[in-house]
Structure 1
Amino acid sequence: MSGLVEKISNLVVGEQKPQIDPKDEVFVGSIDQGTTSSRFLIFDKNGEPVAVHQEEFSQIYPNPGWHEHDPEEIVKSVENCIEGAIKQFEKDGHSRESIKSIGITNQRETTVCWDNKTGQALYNAIVWTDTRAAALARELKGRPNSDKTDVCGLPISTYPSVTKLIWMLRNVDKVKQAYEAGNLAFGTIDAWLIYKLNGVAEKNVFVSDPTNASRTMFMDIRTLKYSDEMLDFFSFEFDMRKIHMPEIVRSADPESFGKLSSGPLKGWPIMGCLGDQSAALVGQKGFDPGSAKNTYGTGCFLLYNVGEKPVISKHGLLATVAYNFDGKPVYALEGSIAVAGSGVKFLMHNLGFEQQSHKISELAETVKDNGGLVFVTAFSGLFAPYWIDDAHGTMFGITHHTERGHIARATLEAVCFQTKAILDAMEKDSGHKLTELKVDGGMSNSALCMQTQADLVGIPIIRPKMRETTALGAAIAAGFASGVWKTFDELKEVNTAGQTTFEPKMQEKESARMFQRWEKAVKMSKGWVASEESGEEAKEAQESIKKDEEEAEASKL
């Protein structure tokens, strides 16, 4: 992460720009709340970041397959980032009064439960990668008429927020008690952040935008309202209508998101909100049907703009909302890969390969190919287009010839293979083959990874010079609401200079052979997780929660 900040800082200070009268300056702030860190960036009208501050926060893994965040630590990290970026911004001679509005982009399915009377979180946030609800997902799939993708756009799995919420209702006493008292509030990270940044129950700004609400399974993908059919389906144990859920509002709105209640930007309006992958599509200016982007972050997410009507996939993809700026929603097909950059971190932190992420790419370049090794990085099962909950990470083809470089290369290739599978599914669903793919995110810094991607998919890969497209997307949403930009045409030239294009170089026959081997490995990776959680494992989970709650109470004394 530190390398990323350094690159942005160099971009900020490395080029001399003509002096502008402060009263003529126009900027937009962007809160970028990700899976491993929070950031605050300030963009000028040309879409260039002029200040940034980043802060990592704790990753909590209480049990195998579990992944949690401290909701209060997330809020604090965002507040610290705003303060740090404003210090840099003013040190460089800018005025905070020139910041017209603030946008928010966030990790999406990550789920928070809190007491709507006190504003206190009732349990750690359960992160989108978490697989503890695998048995619950199988249980839900076994119920009559369980395929609701035509209504909400998502299949039942551990991925959407609903399975995480039901798990907490079943297993966390504080959540159950708040539900019984009628005080249980549920939301994704955007709703939690907006609620807290506005001053909690005092202002009670409790909203979410459609790009986030569409990830819960509660929202009707067409009406952008909570679906009675979905609420009824999930009310077999708990009445979902008794849970406080955020109001769904447009992604760009001058009033709905409230104002910051504290810090150096106290009183500044929040005017935009987009889930991170929709924000990246907006930041890549994917406003026309047929345009697509792939973000190589902690996970990997490919979005394909399908226009003003949702396309319900028949090939394992998700239907989601791309954005809703003016009351006319634009939709996308999405392919989600659970492990991308987190696979690189696995090699670094768990296997001790290197100290810096770019060194993994350099290590991969020490060998000419993967040496016959295939690494199915199914640490959280496999997402689109496979949706295999019972897979675990598996390596195939290990021999005496296998080196660390082969493992590094196979880790990068795993992301490229899954992207190829998603693009094939998108072509089948849409009836059109993409002519190019825009990319961003940390792994897109690897030229080897991007060249491999171009070789496997057989189309050019376009990488912009300034790759903070997710944060830029949130800034664009807020900028539209505050009048910084008025039309998409004004953004045509934003972030186009200095882009890199990776053209396919591999013979189609060779890329097909590699992909065939990958598909064989995927089939062989199935079934590593038990078909249902045993009573002993459930008991251990309950004891782990109880122990955490007792320790939390003791720390307050």
Structure 2
Amino acid sequence: MPEKIIVIDEGTTSTRAMLFDASGTPLGSAQREFRQHYPGPGLVEHDAEEIWQATLACTRTMIDKAGGTANIAAIGITNQRETIVFWDRTTGRPLAPAIVWQDRRTAADCAKLKEAGHEPAVQAKSGLLLDPYFSGSKIAWALRNWPRLAEAGDRLAVGTIESYLVYRLTGGAHVTDATNASRTLLMAIDGSGGWDGGLCDLFGVPMRLLPEIVDCTATVGTTDPELFGGAIPIAGMAGDQQAATIGQACLAPGQTKATFGTGAFILSASGAERPHSANRLLATILVQEGGRRSYALEGSVFVAGSLIKWLRDGLGLLASAGESEALARSVPDNGGVYLVPALAGLGAPHWRPGALAAISGLSFASGKAHVARAALEAQAYQAHDLKAAFAADGVDWADLRIDGGMAANDWMAQDLADMLALIVERPEFVESTALGAAMLAACGAGLYPDLATAAGTMRGRATRFIPALNDAQRKTRLTGWQSALAKILT
């Protein structure tokens, strides 16, 4: 039996395919960036056809690396979650731009629903809040504003990125896994709930457009043999943050991970009992196996690594993202500079989609090193705000496992430990999202009996960062952050 796994990892700015063996050892990687489209303020779109072509190219490279399709046990898919795609069931080709999770065009729509008193009922069913971050309002907006979607009639299919890719890879399987479905505002996540008629009616989304909800370890089909020279089972799917949580082996209640990618996403496993938040956190499905669901409490921060990218590409303050660490180390402190990174609004626990970013405390003594340091410090401050909200909901963190591209920054990892007063653990292989998808696919292909066994074997060693800041220093810095934050919240 073949024992190699290919993972398709669809991020917000690039497509990647990775090859793993059954022990979780990475054997190769291929990556292609794709364009970000900003047609107006607060609008973020992708070209789903460009994503598809990049996926084909990267996957073919890894198939060649594996020695052909006969050596591959399964494909796993993980993806940017709330981004929504509209495509033609006949051709598989997109009918409109993909609306990205960062897009804020439906802020007014969500505000109206909130003002009408719908949020408590929506949260009770979906575990989510009324925010343009999620897919439901995006779908509704597109159906109202893009006539070509209505003109497509029964040819129109809608789904998140993994749903779209499976459709094209298999030549017609219209499915979505439970973790991605739970991010749409259209699913009842309790028990065995599926698409909810009341939620779909509230947003004006016909259920006939939506995919079938399946397990995260289900074999949902095989790839069209013409694509890769042979058929490969697709046997594992999860949204990127759930996949990262699985890859970090955070499966037992209370185990917590934070992924620092484009945004920062913190999930704490809660087991078979769905969590309920009184502090504007999200209840979400962590994984579904054999029809059984386990849940997590989540806090989502919209801007993390994208802040460093903006400092590099938008302001020209950095020659490379990696330069931020050296700059942060080059000054003894932040010089009184604080950066509130609300470039796409504020996520949890504030949920202010209209908030704007701000840099405060600048003087002639400030330099780009202070701004770079303030950008990195903002990650720990945002995590601190989330930790307080989790604790208020009865889920305090014993430690924190971090991953994602930004987590490779040693200075930032230590600053997290210092500001949270927690041991922070970073795996040697920081691509936990891809590793989690590999675990799911390995289980779906029968290489492991369950996720706990797969995680115990496939997760590698980790580096630990120990808190080294005293309480007085921590309090001083947090006071400065809270003052800077208050200026954009008032």
The answer to which of 244-253 and 432-441 deviates more is 432-441
* Correspondence for 1:388: 352
- Normalising by structure 2, we get a TM-score of 0.96
Pick one of 86, 90, 95 that aligns with 2:63.
86
Match of 2:15 in 1: 38
Q: Shift in Å at residue 526 of structure 1?
A: 3.4
Alignment of 1:283-362 (within 5 A): 283-362=247-326
Residue 325 of structure 1: how far off its partner (Å): 1.8
Matches of 1:358 and 1:302, distance apart in 2: 23
Aligned residue for 2:390?
Answer: 426
- Could you report, residue by residue, the CA deviation over 1:14-44 in whole angstroms, capped at 9, with x for unpaired residues? xxxxxxxxx8x62111110110111111111
Q: In 2, are the aligned partners of 1:126 and 1:164 still within 8 Å (CA)?
A: yes
CA contact (8 A) 1:337 1:415 kept: no
Using the alignment, how far apart are the partners of 1:320 and 1:412 within structure 2?
A: 28
State how far apart, in whole Å, the 1-side matches of 2:438 and 2:456 are.
15
Counterpart Cα distance in 2 of 1:265 and 1:32? 21
Write the distance in 2 (CA, Å) between the matches of 1:318 and 1:244.
25
Q: Which residue of 1 aligns with 2:29?
A: 52
> How far off its partner does 1:265 sit?
5.5
CA distance in 2, matches of 1:362, 1:324: 42
Partner of 1:176: 150
Deviation of the 1:157 alpha carbon = 0.8
- 1:195 corresponds to 2:163: no
How far does residue 144 in structure 1 lie from its aligned partner after superposition?
3.6
| Cα distance in structure 1, aligned partners of 2:184 and 2:424 | 31
Provide the residue aligned with 1:548 in structure 2.
Answer: none
Alpha-carbon contact 1:224-1:248 (below 8 Å) kept:
no
Q: Corresponding residue for 1:245? A: 210
1:207 to partner: Cα distance: 0.2
Aligned counterparts of 1:87 and 1:182: Cα–Cα separation in 2:
38
Kept in 2: contact 1:354–1:360 (CA 8 A): yes
Q: 1:495 aligns with which of 452, 455, 459?
A: 459
Distance 2:242 2:466 in 1: 26
Cα distance change, pair 428–526 in 1 and its aligned pair in 2 (3 A):
closer
How far has the Cα of 1:164 moved from its partner?
Answer: 1.1
> What one-letter code is carried by the residue in structure 2 that aligns with 1:247?
E
Contact 2:342–2:356 at 8 Å: present in 1 too? yes
Shift in Å, 1:129:
0.6
TM-score of the superposition, structure 1-length normalised? Answer: 0.85
Which runs of structure 2 are paired with 1:370-449 in the superposition (5 Å)? Answer: 370-429=334-393, 431-449=394-412
Q: 2:444 matched to 1:481?
A: yes
Residue 119 of structure 2 aligns to a residue whose secondary structure is coil
Preserved contact between residue 235 and residue 444 of structure 2 (Cα < 8 Å): yes
Out of 139, 142, 145, the position equivalent to 2:115 is 142
Alignment-mate amino acid for residue 496 of structure 1: G
The structure with the greater share of residues assigned to strand is 2
Query: Aligned partners of 1:323 and 1:493: how far apart in 2?
Result: 18
Give the alignment of 1:7-18 within 5 angstroms.
Answer: none
**1:493 offset after TM fit, Å?**
4.3
Alignment check: 8 A CA contact 2:6 2:76 kept: yes
Aligned residue for 1:80, secondary structure, equals helix
Find the counterpart in structure 1 of residue 103 from structure 2: 130
Q: Percent identity?
A: 37
**CA distance in structure 1 between the aligned counterparts of 2:226 and 2:392, rounded to whole angstroms:** 49
Gap change, CA 1:490 and 1:63, over 3 Å in 2:
closer
State the structure with more CA Rg.
Answer: 1
CA 230–425 in structure 1, closer or farther in 2 if over 3 Å, else same: same
One-letter amino acid of the counterpart of residue 259, structure 1? T
- Following superposition, the deviation at residue 490 of structure 1 comes to 4.9
Using the TM superposition, give the Cα deviation of residue 243 of structure 1 relative to its aligned residue in structure 2, in angstroms: 4.4
Q: Contact 1:257/1:272 (CA < 8 Å) preserved in 2?
A: no
In the TM superposition, what is the alpha-carbon distance from 1:140 to its structure 2 partner? 1.9
- Show CA shifts across 1:400-453 (max 9, x none): 111100100111111211111111111121x24322111100111111101110
Which residue number corresponds to residue 98 of structure 1? Answer: 71
SS at match of 1:266: coil
Q: Distance in 1 between matches of 2:114 and 2:454?
A: 46
- Offset of 1:261 from its aligned partner? 4.4
Higher alpha-carbon deviation: 81-90 or 342-351: 81-90
Q: Would you say the 8 A contact 2:4–2:66 is kept in 1?
A: no
Query: Closer, same or farther in 2 for the Cα pair 1:266/1:353, shift >3 Å?
Result: farther
For the residue of structure 1 that corresponds to 2:51, the secondary structure is: helix
Secondary structure at 1:448 match in 2: helix
Q: Which residue of 2 aligns with 1:212?
A: 180
Q: Deviations over 1:349-394 (max 9, x none)?
A: 0111223211121112111111111101101100011101121111
Counterpart CA distance in 1 for 2:379 and 2:369 is: 16
For the aligned residue pairs, the C-alpha RMSD in angstroms reads 1.6
Question: 2:223: which partner in 1?
Answer: 259
Select the residue among 203, 206, 212 that pairs with 1:234. 203
- 1:29 alignment partner in structure 2: 6
Q: Distance in 2 between matches of 1:422 and 1:505?
A: 21
Structure 1 pair 213–261 and aligned structure 2 pair: CA distance change class (3 A):
farther
SS at match of 1:74: helix
* Shift, 1:259, TM fit: 2.6
For residues 126 and 297 of structure 1, the distance between their equivalents in structure 2, rounded to whole angstroms, comes to 19
Please identify, of 481-490 and 151-160, the stretch whose mean Cα deviation from structure 2 is larger.
481-490
Q: Indicate the residue corresponding to 1:457 in structure 2.
A: 420
Partner amino acid for 1:417? Answer: Y
Q: Deviations over 1:230-263 (max 9, x none)?
A: 123223xxxx236410000100012x24434433
The residue matched to 1:345 in structure 2 has which SS?
helix
CA deviations on 1:506-525 (whole Å, 9 max, x unpaired) are: 11232123223222222211
Count residues with an aligned counterpart. Answer: 487
Q: Does 1:472 align with 2:446?
A: no
- Given that 1:294 and 1:439 are in contact with CA atoms closer than 8 Å, whether structure 2 keeps it comes out as yes
Partner in structure 1 of residue 49 of structure 2: 72
Q: What is the SS of the residue equivalent to 1:263?
A: helix
**1:224, CA displacement in angstroms?**
3.6
Cα offset for 1:327?
A: 1.8
SS in 1 for 2:289: coil
| CA–CA distance in structure 2, aligned partners of residues 351 and 146 of structure 1 | 38
Evaluate the alpha carbon distance shift between residue 242 and residue 226 of structure 1 in structure 2; reply closer, same or farther with a 3 A threshold: closer
Aligned counterparts of 2:455 and 2:128: Cα–Cα separation in 1: 31
Structure 2 gaps of 5+ residues are none
Deviation of 1:150 after TM superposition, in Å, equals 1.1
Q: Aligned to 1:113, what secondary structure does the other structure show?
A: strand
Aligned residue in 2 for 1:11 = none
Deviation at 1:74, TM superposition (A): 0.5
8 Å contact kept, 2:246–2:455: no
